[in-house]
Amino acid sequence: MFERILIWLQGYYIIRFDVNDIVQILNICNVSGIMLNSVKDEGDVYSARVNLKDFKNLEKACEKFGLTFDVKRKCGLRVFLDKCFAEKAFLAGAFLFAVLLFLASNISLEIKIKSVGDLMYISESEILQLAADCNIEKWRFIPLLDFDLAEEYIKTSSPYISFVGIARRGTEIVIEVKERKLLEAEEKPLPYGNIIAQCDGTIQNIFVLEGTALVETGQQVTAGQILISGERNGLPVPAEGIITAKVIYQGKAVVPFLQEKFYDTGLQANSLYLCWGNMAQLVIAGEADAPFEYFVSTDEKRKIEFLGYEMPFFLVQRTYTEQKVQQISLSYQEACDAAAELAYYQALSQLPLIGSEIVSKSLEISDNEAEAEAVVSIEVIRNFGIFKPHD
């Protein structure tokens, strides 16, 4: 079967031998490597098929031995194509067919909308309308359509769309759309739990939305105490409510009257190091240790380049500046002011960043022979209570 198809594809001649004895021809073909197919005895004549390649060899062989044959018919695909290509009408038709095929395969026959999940805020018809504004609709010549422009247009035209991708699949145009997640976040059910006190304080106001209040206005509470219980009529509920409380934050600072202060003497010493990353350093000049008891040091790094390439090691020049200690004596007022300021900032640093209102401040100063002590109390009203789910 395969052999027949192959012969048909190659093209063949049906030939007729008008001889009494075909055996001689067949033996010649066998010796000459000429392939003959379908050799039949048709009474007076013999017919056979020979492919185009072997036909010339057969002609030569028969000429050599004085044998003759007639070509009855030329067959096969190659022969058919040769005939066709010889016709101008066929060529024109083939060209027209190719052009029509190209055109037909480049016409949009369907517009399809694909979305990630169901469309909630915008309908398919609205998307199709937006696409149609950019000429993306049925019966359009696809190579002339600008998908990038259309994507941008659809995305900017609708506030509900966060992503648009337009792609071609054969004669189908697929518009992939992803909707923007609007702020209406999905409400997740809260777990069951209580609202507890964040720190010590006095309840100023309590407004229960869910659960049971266990404290009342004016009550002193400690950190961790349950303010609103996550339970109602014996059933667990997620406690919810707004609680404000008065909380006192304290800051404490001690400033001695006699203080030590460092100043520069002006003396300096330099050292030079060769460093290899942060791993190793080698002293090239100067001393490895600082020559002063009190000092500050500064480093200056210098990269080393060779032929424009930066080397993996570098030089560090370290400068030591000598410091001396000086005893300074503060007055009573200066020490108290410094202590008060430090205590105030310490107290202030404990306040929550938002949701607090300073109600009052107080300062207490005490002193002894050596130092002044300041205690600052800041009273604030703040949102109080955090949700703690049941274990």
Partner 1 sequence: MEKFADLIVNTLELPSEILSDMPLLTLKGNQNVTIENYIKLVNFSDNNVSLLTGQGILNINGSNLQIACIYQGQIRLTGLINAIILEAENV
Q: Which residues bind partner 1 (CB under 8 A)?
A: 3, 22-23, 26-27, 29-30, 33-41, 48
Cβ–Cβ under 8 Å, residues 373 and 365: yes
In the complex with partner 1, which residue's Cβ is closer, 7 or 173? 7
Work out how close the CB of 175 gets to partner 1 at its nearest, in angstroms, rounded to a whole number: 59
The dihedral sign for the CA sequence 112, 117, 120, 122: negative
In the complex with partner 1, which residue's Cβ is closer, 28 or 359? 28
* 25 half-sphere exposure, CB direction, 13 A CA radius: 26
The rounded distance, in Å, linking the Cα atoms of 248 and 245 is 10
In the complex with partner 1, which residue's Cβ is closer, 39 or 315? 39
Work out how close the CB of 81 gets to partner 1 at its nearest, in angstroms, rounded to a whole number: 24
In the complex with partner 1, which residue's Cβ is closer, 21 or 293? 21
Work out how close the CB of 63 gets to partner 1 at its nearest, in angstroms, rounded to a whole number: 20
Work out how close the CB of 80 gets to partner 1 at its nearest, in angstroms, rounded to a whole number: 22
DSSP letters spanning 211-261: SEE---TT-EE-TT-EEEESEETTEE-B-EEEEEEEEEEEEEEEEESEEEE
In the complex with partner 1, which residue's Cβ is closer, 48 or 378? 48
For 164-170, the CB contacts below 8 A with 24+ separation are 166/131, 166/136, 168/142, 170/105
Work out how close the CB of 62 gets to partner 1 at its nearest, in angstroms, rounded to a whole number: 15
Task: Give Rg (Cα) of the chain.
Answer: 50
Work out how close the CB of 86 gets to partner 1 at its nearest, in angstroms, rounded to a whole number: 30
Q: Are strands 240-256 and 258-276 parallel, antiparallel or unpaired?
A: unpaired
- Position 387: which residue type? F
In the complex with partner 1, which residue's Cβ is closer, 23 or 311? 23
